[in-house]
Structures are given as C-alpha cells and as structure tokens.
Amino acid sequence: MLRNDLEYAGFWSRVCATIIDSILLGIITFPLLISIYGWEYFDTNKTGFIAGPLDFLISWVLPAIAIITFWIKKQATPGKMAISARIVNADTGAIPSTGQFIGRYFAYFLSAIPLGLGLIWVAFDKRKQGWHDKLAGTVVVRLKKRGPQMESKKRRPAIAVLLSIITPGLGQVYNGQLKKGAIFYFVMLLLPFLMALTGLQYRFYGMLGLLMLGLAYYLFIAGEALFTAIKLKEIILKSYNRGYYYLLFVILAMFLAISVNIITIEGLGIRAYRNPSDSMAPTLLTGDHIIVDLKHYKNNIPQKGDIIVFKYPENPKRDFIKRIIATEGDILESKEKSIFVNGSALNEPYVQYSDKQIRTNGNDPRDNFGPLTVPKDKVFVMGDNRDQSYDSRYWGYVDKDQIRGKALYIYWSKKADSIGMAIK
C-alpha cells in the first residue's frame, strides 16, 4: 500500500536521477580507464566492446557492486537521493530484500535490450514501474510535492554574470529561465560541430575567426543574463532556484562538455600539441603549440617533406613529431650528413646542424648510414635539428597506420613572428 504522503517517482525525475548517477560513475571510472588504456579506450574499432579484464572490472563489476550496495544501505543511488526518491517493495511498501535488489539490477539489462522499451515503460505505467521494477517487485516513490510557495527574491546581475561565466546558460537558470538557459548551453555545445562543417579550423586565421565567434557568443550569453537580471529585478523562485541545483547543473555541464570534447576531437579532425623539444628546430621550437590535422592521411598518402605526429614505435603511448624523408620503395643513404634519396641529393633548406664534426663510427648512424630501402607501408623520418634528433636513424621506420596526423600551423610560440605560421 502506498502511504498518503508518498507518490510514484515519474519518468523525467528518474531520468534526471540516472543522469546524475551516470556522471558520478563517469567521474570515477573514466580517469581510471584513460590512465590504463589511454584515449584510444573510446575508439571501439581498436578496443572492441570490452577493452580488457580491467575494463570489465571497472566498467561492469564495480558499478554493479556500488549500485546494489547503495540500494541495500540507502534504498537509493545518489541520483535518486537527489530527487528524494527511494525504492520500496511494490506490495508492502517496505524495504525490498537483498535478492530483490540484485534481481532488479540484472533486470535493467532486460529492460534495455528491446530499444530501451522496458525503461521507457515508466512514462506510461500508472505506478511508474519499468520492466525491471515489475520483474523485481519494486516501485520508486518519493514524498509528495507541497503546494507552490510564492516566494520571490531579488536577482543580482553580478551573480547572473558569474554563473554564466562558470557555465554558459546558468545565468538564465538563475533568472528563472530554464528552457532559455538549456537552449543557450546546447547551442554552445553544437559550435564545435558547426566548426567542423566549415573546414576553417585547418587554417590559423580560420580557427582564430571561429574562436572569436565562440567568444562573442559566450559574451552574448553572459550579457543577456546580466540585462535580464536588471530588467526582472526579482522573480518568483522556481524549484530549481537553489544552490545545490546550480551545482548539479555545473557538474552535468562539465560532464557533457568533456563528452563532446572527446567526440569532437574526431569530428573536428584536429588536435592541439605542444612541441616538447628542439629536435625539429628551426622549424619548431621547444614550447611551440601546434595544430595537427588528424584526418589528412585518411584520404592522402604520406609524402616526403610532410611533418607528422606519430606513435613512437618503441613506446606507442608517446607521440613524436618528425619530418618524412623517404617513403615506401625509396632507396635512402646518408653520406657525411648529406641525404640521398634514389641516388639524388635531397634539397633540405630547413635543416640545422649544431656539430661540424662528421662521425665515421660504423655503429653510429647519425651522419652516415645506408643505402637502405624503405619497406612497404612504412616511412623514414628525421628531425630538422639533424645533430640533436632521435629518429629513424636509431629506431627504424614508422608504420603508416601509426601516423596520427599532419602538422598544420603554429598557433602559439615564444617567438612572436612564428604565431600563425604554416608548418612546412
């Protein structure tokens, strides 16, 4: 029997609870998974549905233990606690048994299998039970809402602006305009996808223009929150005009932003890197920040002279940046620091030498090596700072499928005249 002071928790409130739980699980599990598998964890083409035993433990076993433990101890996960809901026995209203909680957890998978129909069923069932609830004999309840309290409170423009800076759209929520705030925020999330459609991100001034457009929109949101707060002066408080809801919105927004960032790294087709050494000087200096085109070699063949970022063959978790000197089939030789490809001396105006001495030791390939033939599907790379570069002369070829992308331009450098320069 349902007590008079209780009501069934509805579909949307339970969706909110699920989002909160998902965010909290993500905050705990994602850093662990990334530290173990790297960012490639999110590339299912490489890792598969389950990346390994530790992925199974972190992504499947530990969440199951945590959720069932919360249910047994609190009758609710943190998400349900946030909406003041709890799980009870559908027949008696008492605390469900441990067996019911375990059964309820595994019944979630049955609810989700037919396109999530068993979960969506909550929206149509008169007791707001999903299939997992029906199978486990449980129901989710919470205290009935009291009548609306017409409490009004002054809106402070400075707070509206501050909240907008913390999370775009939150200033509008503070002003009692939840839908407007949500629209502003989701448009902000869509901007990277719109950028990807223009292709401007592949050029420095194109990227700069897109960033300025994004900044202008960001300032517009803050300005709109400011002037609305001034105009309204005070509002009748909504249920979400509470500090803990603002904190919840910030956490949700951060989670969505991180998720979108992961997705749009591939969608935008670019990634920012910081050059860690002078091995590519004078073309790239230590500390130069560059943009790399991740999609270039999906439609193009690596060419001699391209500056590429690739997985270091001796430790694929590290990325190196070097220049392609020879490609598959090329016959390569170095004679006293001069590079010959297919019998012809390579014109290298970009090269820098720091040591006039010629090393003739047969075990040291810095100045003399070859001739050698580059195998199929591989490239030979070298640094422009030829005497200070650890490259293919020492550890061999780079597989084409280990190339991450082509370096495009420098977007920040301690050398001012290098900013915006195309990398060639």
Residue 20 binned pLDDT confidence (cut-offs 50, 70, 90) = confident
* Per-residue model confidence (pLDDT) at position 260: 63
With bands split at pLDDT 50, 70 and 90, how would you rate the model's confidence at 46?
Answer: low
Fold of 272-418: Umud Fragment, subunit A (2.10.109)
Residue 39 has pLDDT above 80, yes or no: no
Per-residue b or e along 211-237, where b marks 16 or more CB atoms closer than 10 Å to that residue's CB = eeeeeeebeebbebbbebbeeeeebee
Report how far apart the first and last C-alpha atoms of the chain are (Å, whole number): 75
Checking DSSP bridges between strand 319-327 and strand 344-345, what pairing results, if any? unpaired
User: What gap in Å lies between CA 332 and CA 187, rounded to an integer?
Assistant: 52
Beta bridge partners of 234: 154
pLDDT value of position 369 = 92
- In the chain, the amino acid numbered 139 is V
In 3D space, the residue among 320, 324, 306, 317 whose CA is nearest the CA of residue 273 turns out to be 320
Out of 17-21, 60-64, 68-72, 213-217, pick the least confident. Answer: 17-21
Cβ neighbour number for residue 387 with a 10 Å cutoff: 17
Kindly state the average pLDDT of the residues 153-158: 92
Band (pLDDT 50/70/90 cuts) for residue 240 is: confident
Nearest residue to 310 (alpha-carbon basis) of 286, 326, 292, 328: 292
Phi, psi at 104, each rounded to 5°: -60, -40
Closest CA to 327 of 285, 297, 363: 297
The predicted model gives 175-203 an average pLDDT of 84
Domain boundaries, the chain: 6-143, 152-266, 272-418
- Range among 42-51, 122-131, 350-359, 372-381 rated most confident: 372-381
C-alpha Rg value of the chain to the nearest Å = 29
Q: Is 269 helix (H, G, I), strand (E, B) or coil?
A: coil
pLDDT of residue 18: 87
Give the DSSP H or E segment for 8. strand 6-8
Which DSSP string corresponds to 26-92?
A: HHHHHHHHHHHH-GGGG-HHHH-SS-SHHHHIIIIIHHHHHHHHHHHHHSS-HHHHHTTEEEEETTT
- Joined tokens for residue 171: 């200033």
Q: How high is the pLDDT of residue 196?
A: 74
What pLDDT does residue 44 have? 63
Say how far apart CA 130 and CA 142 lie, in whole Å.
16
For 24, the token pair is 């909290």
Q: Return the structure tokens found at 345.
A: 């001396």
Smallest Cα–Cα separation from 241: which of 177, 317, 180? 177
pLDDT of residue 256 exceeding 80, the answer is no
Q: Percent of the chain beyond pLDDT 90? A: 55
Report whether the peptide linkage leading into residue 349 is cis, meaning its omega lies within 30 degrees of zero: no
Which range has highest mean pLDDT (117-126, 131-140, 183-192, 230-239)?
Answer: 131-140
407 pLDDT more than 80: yes
Q: What percent of the chain stands above pLDDT 70?
A: 93
Contact by Cβ (8 Å): 87, 8: no
Beta bridge partners of 270: 293
Residue 287 corresponds to which tokens in the numbers above?
């500390």
On the question of pLDDT at 338 being above 60, the answer is yes
CA distance 119 to 122: 6
Supply the residues annotated as catalytic: 279, 322
Question: How many whole angstroms separate alpha carbon 13 and alpha carbon 61?
Answer: 26
Beta strand pairing status for 378-382 and 331-335? Answer: unpaired
pLDDT for the residue numbered 224: 95
Cα distance between residue 264 and residue 194, in whole Å: 10
- Whether residue 172 contacts residue 184, with contact meaning beta carbons closer than 8 Å, is answered with yes
Angle separating helix axes 11-37 and 62-74, nearest 10 degrees: 140
Q: What is the mean pLDDT of the chain?
A: 88
